[in-house]
Structure 1
Amino acid sequence: MSHELLRQPKWRVIDQSHFGPLFDAKQSFAIDDALCTAVGAGQSDAVVRTWVHENTVVLGAADTKLPYIDEAISFLRQEGYRVVVRNSGGLAVVLDSGVLNISLIFPETKNTIAIEQGYEAMYALIAAMLAPYGVRIEAGEVVGSYCPGSYDLSIGGKKFAGISQRRVRGGVAVQVYLCVTGSGAKRGELIRRFYEIGRQGKATAFAYPDVVPAVMASLSELTGRALSVDELLVALWRTLQSLGGALHSSTLDGEEWSWYEQYWARIVERNEKALSGALPAGE
């Protein structure tokens, strides 16, 4: 299975999967916005960026409206997790050293990229990456998962990945998180408790998910193989090359750093406002 968006003549590769615990998830969201701006301005080839963040729960804007959000965030912090509010839609997800994130960033200057096209491209990429493992991947909402969506990726009814999109200044970022190693149910239980503490039985206007940890799993659990983030990275590079794209390694460059600083300041301000009542002084 292939997709026209994946057949890029050149891919600019930015691998940030081994930056370690000091790499803040807010940086990732600012980086993707800067790269969207660069791609949209015609100053960059299409980008594939890989990134890993340790022990972080990324919240959506709706999560910050939970009736007892302060207590829920305190719980996450006590469990050893940073808390970040993303600059796009969606709900709470868990990131840790066993979760590989991939961003595909395309220009939308010549042809409009429909939302479904972006989702289908990422679905096709992940399916191609995992084809050698003999698994059948399905796309569709997995009821009981955290951050449920119409493009949840699952094997045998258990979700291992979720896809989101963000559009900035002529660039489209399609992002996926892949639970590669570890316990999907353990991650699910963390978010189940987050919502339990955040709601405490109180009725809410927004329908938060009733998380069932058993419907979440990692690829290692689903394939019965001791996979690693590095093995999935190799599968990613091989898959893109097999589609005819030339890969060249890169980092942020030139004006991209200025754009990054602007987007970084915005998301820091957004987080300070959203979490001002939930975080202790100095955080």
Structure 2
Amino acid sequence: VAFGQRDTRLPGFEAAAQACREHGFEPLVRKAGGRAAAYHEGTLVVDHVMPHADAIAGSKDRFSFFGELLAQALRTVGVQAAVGEIPGEYCPGEFSVYGTDPADAARRIKLIGTAQRVVSGGWLFSSVIVVENSAPIRSVLTDSYAALGLDWDPATAGAANDLVPGLTVQDVQDAVIAAYAGHASLRHADFGSYAGVDTREP
């Protein structure tokens, strides 16, 4: 579970961190983003890092662009996805991506949280897509938010395959890569080759 900087200043933070451990999640504090959000093997994290001389410029436009890009990716795999905050969502944000239940238009669940960190000379845009196995995420957020004293509606937490049964992380990964390919030339490589890390066996 990745907590926001503001969460650490609440009196219930240590209890919230312990609640995460009891659910089998490791509590961490992230630099970017707002309130607590949960990750596990059924989520897909997309980090986009770019050098930029004036990284603060266009920060809101990036939220809008990437939110719509990821919503588009989900739509290609059958999710009725759109950008916007839904009432009572965890880690609320104007540019969250939610999905609508095809059997109940009144039921909307948050599927993607986005965050941005700007530093001198560049920016990071990070997105977490919840694809599979929403129950543990809902449970750990329920207890950690209660410890923090934050109100939210657990019904807003879900996964893409709650709306499109059978959808997998690989399906969504392929859809995200295809969506990116519509805007940029892509080259595949392992992380170490880009990070300057020698990944060869000794």
Do both share a fold (TM > 0.5)? yes
Q: Which amino acid aligns with 2:179?
A: T
CA–CA separation in structure 1 for the residues paired with 2:152 and 2:136:
12
**Aligned residue number for residue 109 of structure 2:** 158
CA–CA separation in structure 1 for the residues paired with 2:194 and 2:48:
21
CA–CA separation in structure 2 for the residues paired with 1:79 and 1:72:
11
CA–CA separation in structure 2 for the residues paired with 1:178 and 1:151:
13
Equivalent of 1:214 in 155, 174, 181: 155
CA–CA separation in structure 1 for the residues paired with 2:112 and 2:195:
33
**Aligned residue number for residue 74 of structure 1:** 18
Equivalent of 1:247 in 187, 194, 202: 187
Change in Cα spacing, 1:250 to 1:228, as seen in structure 2 (3 Å) is: same
How high is the sequence identity, in percent, across the aligned residues?
Answer: 25
CA–CA separation in structure 2 for the residues paired with 1:87 and 1:113:
19
Structure 1: tracts of 5 or more residues without a match: 1-56, 200-207, 258-283
CA–CA separation in structure 1 for the residues paired with 2:183 and 2:26:
37
Is the counterpart of residue 180 in structure 1 residue 131 in structure 2? yes
**Aligned residue number for residue 59 of structure 2:** 115
TM-score, normalised with respect to structure 1: 0.61
CA–CA separation in structure 2 for the residues paired with 1:145 and 1:83:
20
CA displacement at 1:104 relative to structure 2 = 1.5
Change in Cα spacing, 1:63 to 1:226, as seen in structure 2 (3 Å) is: same
Indicate conservation of the 8 Å contact 1:108/1:172, yes or no.
yes
Q: What SS does the corresponding residue of 1:246 show, helix, strand or coil?
A: coil
**Aligned residue number for residue 195 of structure 1:** 145
Q: What SS does the corresponding residue of 1:100 show, helix, strand or coil?
A: strand
CA–CA separation in structure 1 for the residues paired with 2:154 and 2:192:
38
Change in Cα spacing, 1:78 to 1:236, as seen in structure 2 (3 Å) is: same
Is the counterpart of residue 238 in structure 1 residue 178 in structure 2? yes
CA–CA separation in structure 2 for the residues paired with 1:249 and 1:69:
39
Structure 2: tracts of 5 or more residues without a match: 101-107, 198-202
Change in Cα spacing, 1:220 to 1:255, as seen in structure 2 (3 Å) is: closer
CA–CA separation in structure 2 for the residues paired with 1:248 and 1:193:
39
**Aligned residue number for residue 38 of structure 1:** none
Segment drifting more, 241-250 vs 83-92: 241-250
Q: Which amino acid aligns with 2:152?
A: V
CA–CA separation in structure 2 for the residues paired with 1:189 and 1:73:
14
Which residues of 2 match residues 1-283 of structure 1 at below 5 A?
Answer: 57-109=1-53, 113-156=57-100, 157-183=108-134, 186-199=136-149, 208=150, 210-223=151-164, 225-252=165-192
TM-score, normalised with respect to structure 2: 0.83
Q: What SS does the corresponding residue of 2:70 show, helix, strand or coil?
A: helix
User: What is the number of equivalent residue pairs in this alignment?
Assistant: 190
CA displacement at 1:74 relative to structure 2 = 1.6
CA–CA separation in structure 2 for the residues paired with 1:192 and 1:227:
25
RMSD of aligned alpha carbons: 2.3
Q: Which amino acid aligns with 2:186?
A: A
CA displacement at 1:117 relative to structure 2 = 1.5
1:57-90 CA-partner distances (Å, limit 9, x unpaired): 1111111122232222222212211111112341
Q: Which amino acid aligns with 2:65?
A: A
CA–CA separation in structure 1 for the residues paired with 2:13 and 2:196:
35
